[in-house]
């Protein structure tokens, strides 16, 4: 069974923990060996010096003809053979060996007759001291490794949490949440589109706690400003960059520098996208009035082929302008839902009848969903129109519970669209159009809280799948 790691932990935390553990074990082993060798050498030297002193005293007593004390003797039993050979050869030496089940320090030297005089000094206390030292080294090393690992893990997890937060914000920015920031305490996961729209609707309502007396108005400011066109989408102003607070110093560490760079990049990207959205909204709005006049003038032209061409191009230009305005409103995120309970079967049949196309409707399982009927019809209408315009028949619209599928039998969606979704003003393979229909369908689906996916069937053809939320 695999251990379940926290979400903020990853290979960096695991590698850091392993590195700290290995280094602590290596350092503890090195220090333990050094201490063990040093203390053992010192203990053995002291025992050897004591044994040699006892041997010198025993030699004096032996040469004087006195009785040897206990622990001393000539060729005593238990004397190691290598030490006896050394003494018989005329040298003195010492050795730690077992005698009757206990450790002793032997010291031996030569005497007449090719024999060896040896003494045995108890070495049990010194051996117990070394064993106790070894156990103390092991316990202290284990405690030191554990404490260091805890402190190191705490420090590493602080870094990995910050890196995880930075990566999470980067993914949110990639998903389109340009308000996400690492160093902004107000940053939190954004709600679902339906909830977000509900919260925005509440934000536009009047707050009863607002003071009745407004702030004094600037005398230089005109009292009656020019009215604003309600159809013009409002694009929010460029937000301040939270990565550069006033009077802030240089980031404290590398992780803070990465977070500040990400926040700065997100703010710059958001400013550029908002400027682009504002430009698109302004252009579409300014074109709307002259196009209305142009359409009226085209209706006054005399019948004929040139008139039909002019009216067709004017209608296409008006449709393009309306699509740009709708995309601009979707970009602002200020769309409001008008929820109602609708059955999908009759709804998709109305969409097919309104399109005037030969789309076949297959209802596998009909359900009632709470949705915005106008926006859902807009999504399905754009999908059906795209299937007939860029694909080949037969086009089949299937309802299976809250999942609606639109499939054609053409060449399928381009690879970039399947991988990254529709992109405005991008078409490939000589296809006609501006790429706005699927962009609007995707935006309206997000407002509905639905999920719209694009894929290609294994046997050919494009497949658009719309999954509606079900309470």
Q: What confidence score (pLDDT) does residue 331 get?
A: 67
E strand or H helix at 396:
strand 396-400
Determine the straight-line distance between the first and last CA of the chain, rounded to whole angstroms.
36
Q: Is the pLDDT of residue 103 over 60?
A: yes
Least trusted range by pLDDT, from 254-268, 319-333, 342-356: 319-333
Question: 410 versus 181: which is more confidently predicted?
Answer: 410
Q: What is the pLDDT of residues 396-446, one digit of tens each?
A: 898 888 898 998 888 888 888 888 777 766 665 555 555 677 888 888 888
Cβ pair 102, 124 in contact under 8 A: yes
Cβ pair 88, 110 in contact under 8 A: yes
Which one, of 353, 358, 378, lies nearest residue 447 by Cα? Answer: 378
How far is 261 from 79, CA to CA, in rounded Å?
78
Least trusted range by pLDDT, from 119-128, 315-324, 436-445: 315-324
Q: What confidence score (pLDDT) does residue 204 get?
A: 40
Q: What is the pLDDT of residues 54-90, one digit of tens each?
A: 888 888 888 888 878 888 888 888 888 888 888 888 8
- In terms of Cβ atoms closer than 10 Å to its own Cβ (0-12, 13-18, 19+), residue 261 is middle
Percent of the chain with pLDDT over 90: 0
Q: Is the pLDDT of residue 196 over 80?
A: no
Cβ pair 68, 61 in contact under 8 A: yes
Q: Rg (Cα) of the chain, in Å, rounded?
A: 44
Length of the chain: 471
How far is 90 from 79, CA to CA, in rounded Å?
16
Least trusted range by pLDDT, from 289-303, 341-355, 449-463: 289-303
E strand or H helix at 102:
strand 102-111
Percent of the chain with pLDDT over 70: 77
Q: What is the pLDDT of residues 164-177, one digit of tens each?
A: 888 888 887 777 67
Q: Is the pLDDT of residue 241 over 80?
A: no
Give the chain's mean pLDDT: 76
As given in the structure block, the two tokens for residue 172 are 């949110």
Could you tell me which residues are beta bridge partners of residue 105? 96, 121
Instruction: Kindly give the pairing relationship between strand 396-400 and strand 360-365.
Output: parallel
pTM for the full model?
0.47
> pLDDT-based confidence at 202, cuts 50/70/90?
very low
What DSSP letter does each residue of 34-69 carry, written as one string?
A: HHHHHHHHHHHHHHHHHHHHHHHHHHHHHHHTPPPP
> pLDDT-based confidence at 227, cuts 50/70/90?
very low
């Amino acid at each position: 069974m695999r251990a379940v790691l926290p979400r903020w932990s990853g290979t960096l935390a695991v590698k850091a923990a392993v590195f700290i553990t290995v280094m602590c074990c290596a350092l503890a082993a090195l220090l333990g060996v050094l201490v063990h060798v040093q203390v053992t050498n010192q203990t053995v030297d002291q025992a050897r010096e004591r044994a040699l002193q006892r041997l010198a005293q025993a030699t004096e007593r032996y040469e004087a003809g006195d009785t040897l004390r206990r622990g001393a003797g000539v060729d005593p039993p238990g004397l190691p053979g290598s030490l006896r050979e050394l003494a018989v050869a005329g040298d003195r030496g010492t050795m730690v060996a077992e005698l009757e089940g206990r450790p002793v320090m032997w010291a031996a030297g030569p005497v007449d007759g090719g024999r060896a005089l040896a003494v045995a000094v108890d070495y049990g206390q010194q051996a117990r001291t070394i064993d106790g030292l070894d156990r103390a080294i092991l316990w202290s090393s284990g405690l030191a490794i554990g404490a260091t690992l805890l402190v190191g893990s705490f420090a590493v997890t602080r870094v990995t949490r910050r890196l995880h937060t930075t990566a999470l914000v980067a993914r949110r920015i990639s998903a389109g949440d340009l308000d996400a920031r690492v160093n902004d305490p107000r940053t939190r996961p954004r709600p679902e589109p339906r909830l977000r729209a509900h919260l925005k609707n509440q934000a536009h309502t009047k707050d009863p706690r607002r003071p009745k007396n407004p702030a004094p108005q600037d005398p230089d400011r005109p009292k009656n400003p020019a009215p604003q066109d309600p159809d013009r989408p409002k694009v929010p102003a460029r937000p301040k960059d939270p990565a550069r607070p006033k009077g802030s110093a240089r980031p404290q560490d590398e992780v803070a520098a990465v977070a500040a760079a990400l926040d700065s990049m997100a703010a710059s990207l958001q400013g550029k996208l908002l400027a682009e959205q504002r430009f698109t909204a302004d252009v579409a709005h300014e074109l709307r009035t002259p196009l209305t006049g142009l359409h009226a003038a085209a209706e006054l032209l005399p019948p004929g082929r040139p008139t039909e061409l002019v009216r067709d191009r004017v209608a296409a230009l008006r449709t393009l302008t309306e699509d740009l305005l709708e995309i601009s409103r979707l970009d602002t995120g200020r769309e409001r839902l008008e929820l109602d309970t609708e059955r999908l079967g009759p709804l998709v049949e109305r969409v097919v009848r309104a399109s005037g196309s030969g789309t076949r409707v297959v209802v596998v399982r009909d359900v009632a969903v709470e949705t915005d009927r106008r926006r859902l019809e807009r999504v399905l209408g754009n999908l059906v129109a795209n299937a007939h315009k860029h694909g080949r028949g037969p086009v089949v619209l299937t309802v299976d519970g809250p999942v609606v599928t639109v499939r054609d039998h053409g060449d399928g969606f381009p690879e970039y669209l399947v991988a990254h979704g529709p992109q405005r003003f991008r078409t490939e393979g000589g296809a006609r159009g501006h790429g706005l229909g699927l962009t609007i369908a995707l935006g309206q689906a997000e407002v509905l809280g639905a999920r719209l996916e694009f894929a290609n069937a294994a046997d050919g053809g494009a497949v658009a799948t719309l999954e509606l939320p079900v309470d």
